[in-house]
Amino acid sequence: MSNHFTNKLVVAISSRALFDLDESNQIYEKEGIEAYRDYQLAHEKEILQPGSAFGLVKKFLKLNENRDNNNALVEVLLLSRNTADTGLRIFHSLRHYGLDVIRAAFAGGNSPYGYAKAFKADLFLSLNPDDVKQALHAGCAAATIWPGDNNSHDSASLNIAFDGDAVLFSDEAERVYKTKGLQEFNESEKNAAHLPLNAGPFKGFLMALQSLQQQDNLSLPVRTALVTARSAPAHERVIRTLRGWGIRIDESLFLGGLPKTDFLAAFKADVFFDDQKMHCENASKSVTSGHVPYGIANE
């Protein structure tokens, strides 16, 4: 959990991930920041439509229901390339939807990723892959959001799913698989079953979620799942690593290379984090996914 926000899970999100800003973003990319500013000022009173991560943010903030600000469990921060004056439309939209977001950083055309680290965020979500990569390099769990239909999500709980290698864990084992094949990978993992895997970029976020789960009187249950292509005998090292970290995951799916989409739907995931774009694209048929550009698959 963040040092700035004791006992709170801190989620930083870009304005484009929270709201649908595609039309105005095209103006920014084609005509520049001044044209973008004029457009936003002219439409300042128009409410923005929900974006890719809107539902997820709403779920996170639901955990603060019936709690005052001093006892809130989640802090959502808004990070934007906008200037503050164009950000008024965003704040109007936040109030319209009843989203309690009070802190923001407007970077005036620059990348806002650095403020995720400054706020000591546990997670940064964006639609800009370059911002996400830089946030990861700065040591913050970060992902590029891929919108999903989320037809199968559960309104009664917050369900977060993770791939293992290059997300929760380092890509050390995945490098063996990519360079030497499945048989060598299984043999290597079997021999290293008692040797803990190194941490991946999302270990800290998972630990923060576990701290959140241990809070009393949650208004919304929080459940986690490991959804990995691994199978026996490569499962043991993963289980022992999590045990060594003192982390409990609610559900673990060792799929042995099967497609993940149907299993994520069965888990009713609100979001799924994976290091491979292909898996994120497939998962987005059912759930919102977050691409984590880390490890050998992204080199």
Cα torsion through 249, 252, 257, 263, rounded to 10: -110
3-state secondary structure 80-91: ECCCCCCCHHHH
Give the 3-state secondary structure of residue 291: strand
Which residue's entry shows tokens 């149907």?
A: 262
Residue 68: C-alpha distances to residues 73, 101, 282 (Å)? 10, 14, 40
Phi and psi at 146, nearest 5°, equal -110, 120
Q: Is 163 a catalytic residue?
A: yes
Do residues 147 and 271 touch, judged by C-beta distance below 8 A? Answer: no
d(CA 126, CA 52): 9
Look at phi and psi of residue 81 and say left if phi exceeds 0, alpha if psi is from -120 to 50, else beta.
alpha
DSSP 10: E
Catalytic residue among 122, 131, 163, 274: 163
Look at phi and psi of residue 66 and say left if phi exceeds 0, alpha if psi is from -120 to 50, else beta.
left
Edge-to-edge order in the sheet of strand 289-291: 103-106, 74-80, 9-14, 123-126, 142-146, 289-291, 271-274, 158-162, 222-228, 251-254
Looking at the annotation, which residues are catalytic?
163
